[in-house]
Structure 1
Amino acid sequence: MFIIYLPIEAFSPLRYLCILGFLAIAAYDYKRIVPLLVRCWPLFTLAILGLASVGWAPYPAEAFRQGVLFFLSAFVAVVIAVHLTPQQILRIIMFAGMATTIASIPFWGTFAGGGPYASKNYFAVHMLFCMLLSLITVLNEKEPLFLRLLALPFVPTCLLFIFMADSATSLVFAVLGGAGLIAIKFFWAPATKVRGLSMLVILFALVVVLVGALAVFNMPQNTFVERFLDIVGKDATLTGRTALWEGARLAAEEKPWFGLGLEGFWYYDSGAAQTLNENDFKAFGTKLTFHNAYWEVRVHLGYVGLALFLFFLGWTSLRLLYLWFQDGSLVNSALVLLIAVNLTMTFTESLLWGMFTTPVLLQSLAGIVPFKLHAPKLEGRARIVPAS
């Protein structure tokens, strides 16, 4: 998990060894894994289209490689979900985040440039997940005391690292996500124990949001967006993202239905890609992203790929909501919050368009975990005493 959490080139051989390990586990435990793989088919639709794009991508070998990795990302998530509970999975991701936080300390002065990651946004997002998962552990009374004490110092540490990375998006999500987890712990969790009260809380929250939105939109000379951007140190272009999105729109118009194929835009001899690099003051040949998961899919796999991507997001998110209404535990509520952060960040980051990333793993687990809702659970062990 640490290898996924800190995706640097030095770990590539280990990453492939881990994939081989998961394939071996699947071969050994195929009786449990294969049925779940079939039931989780929506996780693989986009990867299948990506593999098919080998036929029209400018670099078929690279497209095939990335398509296989897309497929294996979902496959690994299924194998993990078969053998671990949601609480154990979140705990392991937290440990990976803790290890990454410690490994980032030598890069103390370079957080604004990304630290051990390729960009500050990637670094801040992973610190955000570590902070939220550590806070979940601190608030969860079912976790061992030593584990809660271990997680406690990582909450302010990760928050400090996010602040030092100067990533406004992650900082906002850290504040809102932390407040959301505290609200879940002290308001939502008690409400689920009273029949009908949880629905009343949801309706009350919706009313508050709608009333607030109406009040804001009906104010003359509404400048809340501009003032918010000033507070977080951003401008109306969202640090150049709007220029990237315009470039994505132009690229998507070349092949609107099936896109340019995997690895079909950010390659060395693409004039449009290198123009965006030049405008963003990046070195020639740099592989950027469009900082928007939907534009990434539109450019590479077209409208068909976008439809499959939206289906993937909808299927996983709605299944998790179903689980949440069936079992509103703190762990499931925290997973809902993490997925909400995931979905919101798709508009400004491209992490959900990738393979073997923490957001992709969490999103896949959101669709898989509900299948285990009624699975047998170990409640304890009892001694069998023969009748006298």
Structure 2
Amino acid sequence: MRIAKSHLVDPERNQFYGIAAVALSFFIFAYSTRFGQISILAYYAVWFPLVLVDYRRALGNYLRYVWLFAFAIFCFLSSFWSMAPSVSLRASIQYLTHVICALIAMRVLAPRTLALGGVVGCAAVLLYSLLFGRYLYDVLDGSYSFVGAFSSKNQLGFFASLGILFSYGAVMIFRERGLWFIGTLMAGLLSCYALMASKSATSVLTTLAVTGLSLVMQMSLYLAPRQRRVLFAVAIVFGGALVTASLQFGVMDAVLGAFGKDSTLTGRTYLWQQGILAASDTPWFGVGYQGYWVQGFAEAERLWNDFYIASRSGFHFHNTWIETMVETGALGTFTLALVLLTSLLGHLRRFLMLERSESALLFFAISALLLVRSFVEIDIIFSYQIGSFLLYLAAGKLTIAERQNLKLFPLRRPMPAYAVTQLG
């Protein structure tokens, strides 16, 4: 039986394959440490063969968009000065191939397909965790927490957050109805339950913030683009004043206290301090990609001992930017920030400039979630992680003109001429 190429690589016709590929990828990102190398090979087998099916559609011309590869290339180059060159070389090659898979997915997936695949994938991940999960002692919180089939409650909370976000996108943004509506509603409820069970303050607060922001932005779609931009400017001023007032009057401490945390974030601030001190020793280029947490290195061993990490692995500074500064220095941190901020601001610009853009709203919400979490978690700098996959997929969507998606998601009114000019 022959399968038409369009059913694999055409975003308008490959919904079945796309949903299955996204769901499988999410499950592998969650549990690759459990299922081993065979699961990573399955991940590659989902995306790389599409290059053989239609290399023009799957790859495009990435030479025009070097900024997408800037951080991955810098990580590879760091192998030449790394404190652990073999570790950095292997990890950087894995990260680079991971980025390529994400960009292939970006080329062949429609936003609606990604949302539905995300719903299915997150539901499968969370259901597996609820069926085979466990409680684990958290050295940062000093308490026992439900971590599912993960090693950290924050990872369980992250997938629950994404499950809620993709469920919101499928129902509220892309208006799914019928069986998809029922299935998405059930997946959303499952995600809410898993989020509460994880008791992850990071995940709960970021989910509420990003979902609330997405709802407000979606309501603003009924306004003209000019009015939308004015509303957004007012919201920035109001939000800044609210955050300042919260810090001034201790509201933030009260919120943290509700989750059993204090102003030190139960040990994170000490880790950040140690990370900043480590980064100051090699401020420009760092110690090499993944070249700090290596067994036998004195500082890594000391911190593992301080936080009772008997396995001497799987630990980090709980801050993406500090971790990146330590490993790749200021130059590497700049290239990573370039990708994340370009994705965030690029989709925001499309949302504010176009008459109506559902896909821009979805990718802005994903980028916003990754940005907020980056200050307390590590989601986007390692290979085979859902955060880095979504980061490059969202950023890569900026290389495709929005008008190419009009058949899937038509505007209510014709696109104004200035928007076409801006995106062209």
- Cα distance, 1:5 vs. partner? 4.0
Q: Distance in 2 between matches of 1:117 and 1:215?
A: 37
How many Å separate the matches in 2 of 1:146 and 1:325?
32
Higher mean displacement: 366-375 or 120-129? 366-375
| CA pair 310-120 structure 1, distance change in 2 beyond 3 A | same
1:196 maps onto 2:226 in alignment: yes
CA distance in 2 between partners of 1:95 and 1:291 (Å) = 28
2:46 is the alignment partner of 1:14:
no
1:229-378 residue pairs with structure 2 within 5 A? 229-327=256-354, 328-372=356-400, 373-375=402-404, 378=407
Q: CA deviation at 1:272?
A: 1.0
Indicate conservation of the 8 Å contact 2:276/2:322, yes or no: yes
| Equivalent position to 2:86, from 54, 57, 61 | 61
- CA deviation after TM superposition for structure 1 residue 216, in Å: 5.2
Q: In terms of mean alpha carbon deviation, does 295-304 or 310-319 score higher?
A: 310-319
Alpha-carbon distance, 1:312 to partner: 1.8
Q: Does 1:47 align with 2:80?
A: no
**Contact 1:7–1:117 at 8 Å: present in 2 too?**
no
For 1:344 and 1:214, how far apart are their aligned partners in 2? 17
Partner Cα separation in structure 1 for residue 221 and residue 37 of structure 2: 41
- For 2:350 and 2:286, the matched residues in 1 are separated by 35
- 2:164 aligned with 1:139, yes or no? no
CA distance in structure 2 between the partners assigned to 1:296 and 1:235 by the alignment: 22
Question: Which structure 1 segments of 5+ residues have no match?
Answer: 381-388
1:77 aligns with 2:102: yes
Residue deviations 1:37-73 (CA, integer Å, cap 9, x gap)? 2233212111111111222223322211111111112
Which of these residues, 115, 127, 142, is aligned with residue 160 of structure 2? 127
* CA RMSD between the two structures: 2.4
Take 1:243 and 1:21, find their aligned partners in 2: how far apart are those partners?
Answer: 41
Q: Give me the whole-angstrom Cα distance separating, in 2, the residues matched to 1:165 and 1:251.
A: 31
Of 61-70 and 315-324, the range deviating more from structure 2: 315-324
Q: What's the counterpart of residue 383 of structure 1?
A: none
Most deviating of 255-264 and 34-43: 34-43
Give, in angstroms, the shift of residue 257 of structure 1. 1.6
Q: TM-score, normalised by structure 1?
A: 0.88
Please tell me the residue identity of whatever aligns with 2:80.
G
Q: Is the 8 A contact 1:5 1:97 kept in 2?
A: no
Match of 2:186 among 139, 153, 159: 153
Is contact 1:127–1:158 with CA below 8 Å preserved after alignment?
yes
Task: Return closer, same or farther for 1:252/1:211 CA change in 2, 3 Å cut-off.
Answer: closer
> Structure 2: 5+ residue runs without aligned partners?
1-24, 137-144, 410-424
Aligned 8 A contact 1:77 1:365 in 2: yes
Q: 1:184 to 1:6 in 2, by over 3 A?
A: farther
Query: Identity percentage over the alignment?
Result: 21
Aligned residue among 127, 133, 158 for 1:102: 127
Q: Judge conservation of contact 1:81–1:365 (CA < 8 Å) in 2.
A: yes
The change in CA–CA distance for 1:306 and 1:249 in structure 2 (over 3 A counts) is: same
Residue by residue, what CA displacement relative to the aligned partner does 1:186-245 show, whole Å, maximum 9, x if unpaired? x22322xx353322322332343245356557x6xx222322221221112212111211
- In structure 1, C-alpha distance between the alignment counterparts of 2:327 and 2:270, rounded to whole Å: 18
- TM-score, structure 2 normalization: 0.81
Over 3 Å counting, the alpha-carbon distance change for 1:34 and 1:129 in structure 2 is closer
